[in-house]
Amino acid sequence: MNNSYGKLASHVYNLDKYIGKSFGDVEYYLERLNECSGPILEPAVGNGRALIPLLEAGLDVRGFDASPEMLGYCRAHCKERSLTPALSQQTFEAFAHEERFEAIVIPAGSLQLIADHATAIATVKRFLDHLRPGGRLIFDLYPHDLFADTQPSIRNWQTEAGDLLTLTSQRVKADLIAQTTVSHLRYELWCEGKLASSELEFLTMRWWGVEEMALTLRAAGFVDLVVSGNYDFGSAPKHGDEVVTFECRRPR
Ligand SMILES: C[S@@+](CC[C@H](N)C(=O)[O-])C[C@H]1O[C@@H](n2cnc3c(N)ncnc32)[C@H](O)[C@@H]1O
């Protein structure tokens, strides 16, 4: 299954992108949400890496994620800190909340996990429908990795129990028309030198053009779009920037 973040994938995510880890995004989202007093939604909330600092800053955030394992980590981290956000297992493709939000935030390029263009457009429209008038959608995209090196990479982590988790990634397909790539992610858990379990995930990502996304947001009905490079609000993204952030509003 694609982008499923199963047991070992979630374990690796939680070891590698632990609570407290920021790519500059946590500080940026905190700053952008500074004056937000209403409810906030974080789709694809994962293990809570971004959610928890937002909650600890006093923001009223809730989240959903497709992966029960990721939600398991998120719930455990919240419980340890006596935080009680509403968390649910839902997908970009079908999520529904009765509440209307003051902001919807999607850090870490998670929107790129929607590989199909029509589905992504429907999801953007669903974000608009879930915002209050004047509410903001803020999300990151990573630019133009479509042509990146296709050499396999191997990384490893020590688990809490002292075992070894390895991840071998290999890009196996780049579709220049669909603007998607597929990578094989092979996760392996080694206990006392023996392979205890393994998991193969297909990571499919869509690589958006900046103008393409701007057109998509405007066509969906968003206004007041600001596109920023490298978490410098209002600074137009330029070649070499690692991340592009979009912020726009539902009309009042
Ligand atoms: C890169 S992680 C981001 C986690 C967290 N937001 C953060 O900033 O660290 C991507 C998350 O997207 C979730 N995901 C993947 N496909 C999804 C889908 N179709 N609907 C909802 N969540 C999905 C994964 O389970 C994973 O937790």
pLDDT tens-digit series, residues 152-210: 899 999 999 999 999 999 999 999 999 999 999 999 999 999 999 999 999 999 999 99
Q: How many domains does the chain have?
A: 2
Please check the confidence at residue 149 and state whether its pLDDT lies above 70: no
Q: Are residues 71 and 163 in the same domain?
A: no
Within-domain flag for 1: no
Question: Which residues form ligand 1's pocket by a CB distance below 6 Å?
Answer: 3, 5, 17, 44-46, 49-50, 65-67, 70, 91-93, 107-108, 110, 113
Q: Are residues 97 and 191 in the same domain?
A: no
Q: How high is the pLDDT of residue 1?
A: 58
Q: Are residues 93 and 121 in the same domain?
A: yes
Within-domain flag for 181: yes
Q: Are residues 65 and 42 in the same domain?
A: yes
Q: How high is the pLDDT of residue 124?
A: 98
Tell me the C-alpha to C-alpha distance, in Å, between residue 186 and each of 5, 9, 203, 227, 242. 12, 9, 10, 35, 25
Q: Are residues 99 and 221 in the same domain?
A: yes
Q: Are residues 188 and 120 in the same domain?
A: no
For atom 13 of ligand 1, the residue with the nearest CA is 44
Q: How far is the CA of 44 from the centre of ligand 1 (A)?
A: 4
In DSSP notation, 16-59 reads: HS-TT--SSHHHHHHHHTTT--S-EEEES-TTSTTHHHHHHTT-
Q: How far is the CA of 159 from the centre of ligand 1 (A)?
A: 21
pLDDT tens for each residue of 100-144: 999 999 999 999 999 999 999 999 999 999 999 999 999 999 987
Within-domain flag for 71: yes
Q: Are residues 112 and 166 in the same domain?
A: no
Put residue 211 in one of left, alpha, beta given phi > 0 → left and psi -120 to 50 → alpha. alpha
For atom 15 of ligand 1, the residue with the nearest CA is 3
Write out the residue range of the structural domain in which residue 184 sits.
153-206
